[in-house]
Amino acid sequence: MPESAADVRLHLIGYEPFRTSVKFLGAVEDEIKVMRSGHQKIDVHRHPGIRTGGQLGVAIAEPCGACLISCHGGHDDNGDVWFCQDQEVKIFLDVRKVDRVGATSLVIVDACSARQILPELARRTKRGAVLIGIDDKDTHGRDSVQLLADILRELCYPAKLDLSPPAIMSAVDRVKARISARNELVENDKDRSPRLLIENACAD
C-alpha cells in the first residue's frame, strides 16, 4: 500500500501555557530540522494554542505517523487517568474520553503516570502502533530530553525515515542499550536513568 502523507507526519502536542513542555517540543522540532538537513524532509507539525482538554483531544486524534504528547499527567485510586495543564489539574483531558489516537506507528507520552496512561491510550490506538513512556511515577525534564527525545533522534538519523514497527523497536533497543550502559557507570542511584515503558496498541 502506498505511503500516505499522514504516515510520515510527526505531531508535537502539548498545552500552550505549560512553558517547560513548550520549550521541550520546540527543541525537538529544531533538532529534527537540523538532523534532516540534506536528507528527506519530515513534516513536523506543532499544534499551536492548545489551552483546553477538548483541544488536546482533537490534536491527539489527528492522523499522523507519530506523535509526541508532552504535558502533566496523573491518576487516582478510582482508575481515572488524565493529561493536565498544571499540577492543580484545573484544566485536563480524561484519557478515557479520548475517542481515538490518530498516530498509526508511534505514540510517545512525556507525562507522569505513564504506567497508567499508556494502557488506556493503547485501547484507542490502531493495532500495530507502539506506545512509549517512562517507567517512573514522575517524569522529569532531564529524562524527557535524554530518553524520549532520543527515540526520535534515532528514528530521524537514517537518510530515509522508517516508521515501521521493526525500525521503531530497533531505535528503542538502541536507546535502552545506552540507558543500561550509562547506568552501569553512574554511582549515585539518583542520577541513574529510569527504564522505558513499551505498550502495544490494540484498537481495531
User: What number is the average pLDDT over the span 41-45?
Assistant: 89
Number of domains in the chain: 1
87 DSSP assignment: T
Q: Cα–Cα distances in Å, from 23 out to 65, 70, 114, 118, 186?
A: 22, 10, 20, 23, 28
Which domain covers residue 170, as residue numbers? 5-200
* pLDDT value of position 79: 86
pLDDT in tens, 86-114: 877 778 899 999 999 999 999 999 999 99
Cell of 91: 484544566
How far from 70 is each of 17, 38, 85, 144, CA to CA, in Å?
12, 28, 10, 9
Q: Which of 96, 89, 90, 131 is nearest to 114 (CA)?
A: 131
Q: Are the C-beta atoms of 45 and 28 separated by less than 8 Å?
A: no
Q: What is the pLDDT of residues 155-202, one digit of tens each?
A: 999 998 899 999 999 999 999 999 999 999 999 988 999 999 999 999
The β-bridge partners of 159 are: none
Read off the CATH number of the domain in which 106 is found. Answer: 3.40.50
Residue 204 pLDDT greater than 70, yes or no: yes
Neighbouring-strand partners of residue 10: 44, 66
64 and 43 Cβ atoms separated by less than 8 Å: no
